[in-house]
Structure 1
Amino acid sequence: MRELLKSLDKLNHVYEQFDLLNFRAHKVMPLTFNKKDSKALLPQNKRLYFSYSYLDKEKTRLTNLILTQVINLKDPLFKQKKMLHPKLIDKALKLKNIDETHKKEMSELPNRNRKINKLKRLINMINDENIGICQGYLTQIKLLLYQNKKSLFIERPQQYKERELLDDSDFRMKIMQFDYDRYLYDDFTPEDFLDYLIFEKIRRHASFIKSYDARVLLPDATNCGFSGIAYEVEIDGISECYVTFKGTEADMDYTENSRSKRLEKFLLEGYKDWNYNVNAILVGKSEENDQLVVAREFMKYLQEHLKDNCLVYGLGHSLGGHFVQTLQLIDDCFKAGYTLNSAPVNLKQVQQVSPDLFDETTWQKLFELTNQKTVTNILNREIKRLLPREYPEIINQSFEQDLTQVFYEISYTIWVGQKWEYNLNTWKYPFKQHLASYLNEEEIHSYQHFFEQLFAYLRDSTTGTQIMRNTLSFVRARVKILQDDIDKPETSEFFYDYSNYLHESGIFLDRPQEINDDLNNSQLTMWKSSRREWPFLKSLNMDMLDLSVYFHIISGVKYFLNRTPNRID
């Protein structure tokens, strides 16, 4: 079994290198297409493909070795627990099947000669490795061994220290990612997963673990889309609780065989979160505070059921980071906390939920400071002086140009605690998070109003198909209004400013031009007409859109965190 554990660790390291290679490939994706960038891509492609080829061969070798080791494994334990050996073989076979399927699909990929396409093909091949799923099966094999043969797992002699797990970046990433990947662990409880993860990180056994799932404890959580899970643990007499809040990304359950059911769940979950993002955070409407209300109920439940001396920590990615910050401002829930690419706190929403947090004068000052704002250090210091305290225990880590940073440019939004921003030196990534540099106050409010109207239009949608159909119907109607009013100077200016912002952010490759007068007289379809009159629409940069999503999710942003951040107090 010890040889099997070594092989499992080696294969897990290979998948970690695949994951890092994926980040490196995304990082060198050219977004400008000038000759210099294109020329530099040729040697980069060669290095990346060489690394991939080596890792792919090593993965296949280790996958075959692990399957052989598992099948040939002889242990007296199997006589006592007759299902253990078949379970181990089943997990190893799933790894083997994924590897064989990948080889077949990889051979069917077209051979493209352009340098940029070769890089895209490499990224597709890495994604086809199903890194997360395979690492899940590897963890499950080790988890089965850990549960049934603890003598193989030797503890360190040093006692556990307070916050040791919280301060481990890899532990934070894995426990936050678990909320997205729970579908992979149907054979195990969250306690099983955390028990092994704790030992893997600190080489100490937990004496007590209990999980609290908001969707199990609070019926309203599922209805409104809120997702949170808390883990109460005790290690060497120290009691801690890690409360994780899930982000906006709906998890695609690949264990569901029906593609339509998989997509249906994905769309409905995503819709609920974006409805909250838009109405509660972007707009600050009181009618859509349901997720925050449930989050407070969840924290109240935990406070009533956790041990008295338990240290409570908050962890959240994207939308989940918004809950960590907002709950800390309103209720002081956490001893400490980390957020990753977090959405902001909306003061209008906070006032509706907790009007007594500030007196009327303070509320008015905060609203004056955060209306029509451009983010500056001076402004941040003025805002902090009005808050109950500085909240240094909350650390908000983010990729400096993450797409959620646009939310911090919206009126009445703030962050709570410290902000650590990460980037790469001499790296070309054009996305602009400072809206106020391109759009005036009225245009930003128009941006908010558009999405508010969209979700009002989608309110009665009950299925994924209805959400998609009604979204297209809404966009089609708004484009028709734009076409009818494009000859008005203010409409033309609005359109140009938005378009120019998207161009400067790399979403469109071509710069927008002046609008032609005969747009509204065109007999072509809406899309063909738009592309004829606004040629830059044909230059939609899907590479930039893909990158903006990749650097937002946990698997993409985590590789920024080993660099020195720009700390904003």
Structure 2
Amino acid sequence: MTYHGKWTILEVTAVDMGQHMLQQTRALWAICERYEALVFKLNVLIPDAKTDVTHQLMSINAEQQTLAKRKRALLVYLLQDLKNHQQRLLKRNPTLTQVFVDEITQMLADLPRTQSMVLDQPVQSILQQLEHIVHSQQLQRIRSLVIRLEVALQVLQPTQRRHPLVPYQPGSLFRNWDLLMNLMQYDAYPHDYPGVDAATFIQWLAYHKGNTRIDDVTVTDLRTAVPEAKVTGLAGTAYSVVIGKEVEGYILFRGAERTGMAGEWQETALDWQYMLKSIMLGLPNESDQLPIARQFTQMIMGHLQLLSPDARLYGIGHSLGGQLVQAVQLLDHPFTAGFTLNSVPMQLQQLQSLAPKRFSKTQWHALKHHRGHNVSHLLQEFGEKAANIINVRFSQDFTALFYQAPGTISLGEERSFTLTNWHYPFTAKLSNFFTKNEISNLLELLRYALMRLRRASTQRQVGAFLFDTILTLYRNANIPATATFLDHLSQYLYACDFFTKAPVDFMTDASGKRHSFRLTFANLMNQREFFKSLNTAMFAPLVTLHIVNGVKFIVADNQQDIETEELGSSFVTQTTIPTQTAIQSVIAES
């Protein structure tokens, strides 16, 4: 056998061959990300654009055709390389078998011809066309292929070249936002990566995004470790990784995302019940997720310390999961650092109820009367350690509505991003439309809704409840305060583009009757054009800009030619709830 330095000729050839195929797989992954960016653009940028979008639509159509051709060519090249070197690869790595050849061959057979979108249609129809085209491109299968093949190709490198010359710097993976958001995306949508388990994914992700090889990984599912978590809706995953002499743990608390899987309705209902009841309203909750999140965190920390007394634990969470990261850190401080994305706030009443002795009475009082939401500086005045949490968000994310509620706070550094030169009508600044009493009315309606929704187990029952609530308000529109509240609510929904036609002011009469069928009917008829103008297209950007695989295009440097800018923190102030309001009396009557 001929040697070349420390490696044999066979080893050098295998490395070069593996690197060549690695270039092809990474190009395939980039194409998958580019398809996601096109859907993001059409979902978010186009419907709310103030200028003519014909040129942009033509550009998106041309690019998706180019991507389809490029993807097919890359698959052909990759298949040819695997066939040409199959025997040599088999000797070097048994995992590179005929399976990959057969898989790519079948994938090429299943790919459709290059398709073009019909552009002389409404934007919503064009979006549906693009989503159909993207679905037909089999991106799930390609992601799975790329991950499994790249993990197999790693084994081609000789042992001496497995680790970089520069030792791993502790926390390097955590400081990579793009890596963290990919990990959150996998945790929320694992079915988008068929055949790829969590351990394989994080090993691939560390190598692909962080140029780091993980020597060993243990994955712990929260619901497996703490079975009672399921009835609360809490879900998450812990990754315990060993990189050389370093031991790090990553706990992901899942947000209230729509997964598209069976049982989604019940899961979503449990998460929203927690966010509305425990966080927005600060009510006692038998399905509180925070105690279980604390228990799971301590369990994982104990496991890490058995591996190394210097182990580091990091908390990661999106939306609801971000709230849990902040709350666990405030109460127990187990994390070296934390990262949250579009997080909902913490609720002081919940925190004090769970850990009344965490702070003194004077400190709890100071927290409750602190001006503004972020209490990081106040905690440092108490002598607390720095939280080391970064809260990243889209500046107009709908979770800002939660910060309207009394007792809501946040912890850590806040970084806010938005898109440049772009119109987005949604606002969480309710004080621009409602009085303080009316915002209290909204919270009271929410409290009433939760009482009713406890008995609702289907979407139809929830819809029936919403209709009943609206009808109850309309029947009481002869009460001046109720009529004014409904006027302001309609104006807010119109300003946010949920309805495209302006509402008509509600009528009252001097009869003094609390309920008037004639007046109720007249108000409903006057608002019929307003109701008919429901803008369903507005819901797509509202959701897209909140979920991980949408907001990542705003806050991460993903080089997808989407122009963004970083803003300062701009959360709205809290509202104090009066003792009794007009709407409360209406609710009591209904």
The answer to whether TM tops 0.5 is yes
2:468 counterpart residue number: 477
The SS at the match of 2:402 is helix
Within 2, Cα distance between the matches of 1:387 and 1:175?
35
Q: Which amino acid is 2:70 matched to?
A: E
What corresponds to 1:409 in structure 2? Answer: 404
Change over 3 Å in CA distance of 1:154–1:299 after alignment to 2: closer
Equivalent residues in 2 for 1:226-375 (5 A)?
Answer: 226-253=234-261, 262=262, 265-288=263-286, 290-307=288-305, 308-369=309-370
Relative to the length of structure 1, the TM-score reads 0.85
Q: 1:540 aligns with which of 528, 534, 538?
A: 534
Aligned residue identity for 1:348: Q
Find the counterpart in structure 1 of residue 68 from structure 2.
56
- State the match for 2:435 in structure 1: 440
Distance in 2, matches of 1:132 and 1:324, equals: 32
CA contact (8 A) 1:210 1:232 kept: yes
Cα deviation per residue 1:176-232 (whole Å; 9 max; x = unaligned)?
Answer: 112113335564442222122212233332222112211111101222111111111
Give the one of 166, 187, 190 matched to 2:174. 166
CA distances 1:284-303 after superposition (whole Å, capped 9, x unpaired): 11224521111011011112
Q: Hey, what does 2:561 align to over in structure 1?
A: none
CA contact under 8 A between 1:91 and 1:141: conserved in structure 2? Answer: no
2:440 & 2:65 partners in 1: Cα distance?
A: 50
Give the AA of the match of 2:431. Answer: A
Following the alignment from structure 1 to structure 2, what is the Cα–Cα distance between the partners of residues 390 and 454? Answer: 39
Q: Which runs of 5+ in 2 are unaligned?
A: 1-16, 510-514, 558-563, 571-590
Between 121-130 and 396-405, report the one with greater CA deviation.
Answer: 121-130
SS at the partner of 2:454?
coil
Q: CA deviation at 1:173?
A: 0.9
Query: How far apart, in 2, do the equivalents of 1:380 and 1:290 lie?
Result: 23
Separation of aligned partners in 2, 1:131 and 1:319 = 31
SS of alignment partner, residue 238 of structure 2: strand
Q: Following TM superposition, by how much is the alpha carbon of 1:564 offset from its aligned partner in structure 2, in angstroms?
A: 4.8
Query: What do the CA deviations read for 1:213-260 (whole angstroms, capped 9, x no partner)?
Result: 11111101222111111111121312211111111114223xxxxxxx
Of the structure 1 ranges 210-219 and 192-201, higher mean CA displacement relative to structure 2 is found in 192-201
1: CA distance between counterparts of 2:503 and 2:539? 18
Superposed, 1:88-237 pairs within 5 Å as 88-89=100-101, 91-92=103-104, 95-96=107-108, 99-100=111-112, 111=118, 113-114=120-121, 116-117=123-124, 119-121=126-128, 123-125=130-132, 127-128=134-135, 133-143=140-150, 145-146=152-153, 149-151=156-158, 155-184=163-192, 187-237=195-245
Which whole-Å CA distance do the structure 1 matches of 2:340 and 2:274 have between them?
A: 18
Q: Per the alignment, in what secondary structure is the counterpart of residue 478 of structure 2? A: coil
**1:43 partnered with 2:55:** yes
Partner of 1:256: none
Aligned partner of 2:463: which letter? L
Determine the C-alpha separation between the residues in 2 that align with 1:248 and 1:388: 34
Give the number of aligned pairs.
537
Cα distance change of structure 1 residues 351 and 386 upon mapping to structure 2, 3 Å threshold? farther
Pairwise CA distance, 1:507: 1.7
Seen in structure 2, the aligned counterparts of structure 1 residues 446 and 5 have a Cα distance that, compared at 3 Å, is same
Q: Given the superposition, is the C-alpha separation of residues 85 and 43 from structure 1 closer, same or farther in structure 2, using an over 3 Å criterion?
A: same
Going from structure 1 to structure 2, the CA distance change for 1:455 and 1:204 (only over 3 Å counts) comes to same
Equivalent pair of 2:247/2:310 in contact (CA under 8 Å)? yes
Q: Which amino acid aligns with 1:350?
A: L
Q: CA deviation at 1:356?
A: 1.3
Partners of 2:297 and 2:139 lie apart in 1 by: 30
Question: What amino acid maps onto 1:47 in structure 2?
Answer: S
Deviation for aligned residue 1:341: 0.6
Higher-Rg structure is 2
Give, in whole Å, the separation in 2 of the partners of 1:138 and 1:334: 34
- Is the contact made by 1:45 and 1:115 (CA closer than 8 Å) also made in structure 2? no
Counterparts of 1:373-384 in structure 2, within 5 Å, are none
User: What is the percent sequence identity of the aligned residues?
Assistant: 26
Residues 247, 304 of structure 2: 8 Å contact kept: no
Given residue 489 of structure 2, which amino acid in structure 1 is its aligned partner? Y
For the 8 Å contact 1:422–1:560, the answer to whether it is kept is yes
Distance 1:442 1:436 in 2: 10
Distance in 1 (CA, whole Å) between partners of 2:478 and 2:132 is 47
CA distance in 1, matches of 2:29, 2:553: 17
Contact residue 344 and residue 399 of structure 2 kept, 8 A = yes
For 1:458-473, what aligned pairs fall within 5 Å after superposition? 458-461=453-456, 466-473=457-464
Name whichever structure is richer in helix by fraction: 1
Q: Tell me: CA distance 1:237–1:469, structure 2 relative to 1, closer, same or farther (3 Å).
A: same
Aligned counterparts of 1:476 and 1:115: Cα–Cα separation in 2: 30
In 1: Cα distance, 2:89 partner to 2:369 partner: 69
Deviation at 1:29, TM superposition (A): 1.9
Kindly provide the CA deviation profile for residues 161-182 of structure 1, in whole angstroms up to 9, marking residues without a partner as x: 1111111111111111121133
The whole-number CA distance in structure 2 between the counterparts of 1:352 and 1:333 is 20
Which structure exhibits the higher relative contact order, with contacts defined as CA atoms closer than 8 Å and separated by 6 or more residues?
Answer: 2
Give 1:282 shift.
1.2
Whether the aligned pair in 2 keeps the contact of 1:390 and 1:416 (CA below 8 Å) is: no
CA change 1:126–1:490 in 2 (3 A) is farther
| Residue among 496, 512, 533 paired with 1:505 | 496
Distance 1:57 1:44, change over 3 A: same
Partner secondary structure for residue 226 of structure 1: coil
69-78 vs 214-223, which moves further: 69-78
Report the Cα distance in structure 2 between the residues aligned to 1:430 and 1:504, rounded to whole angstroms.
7
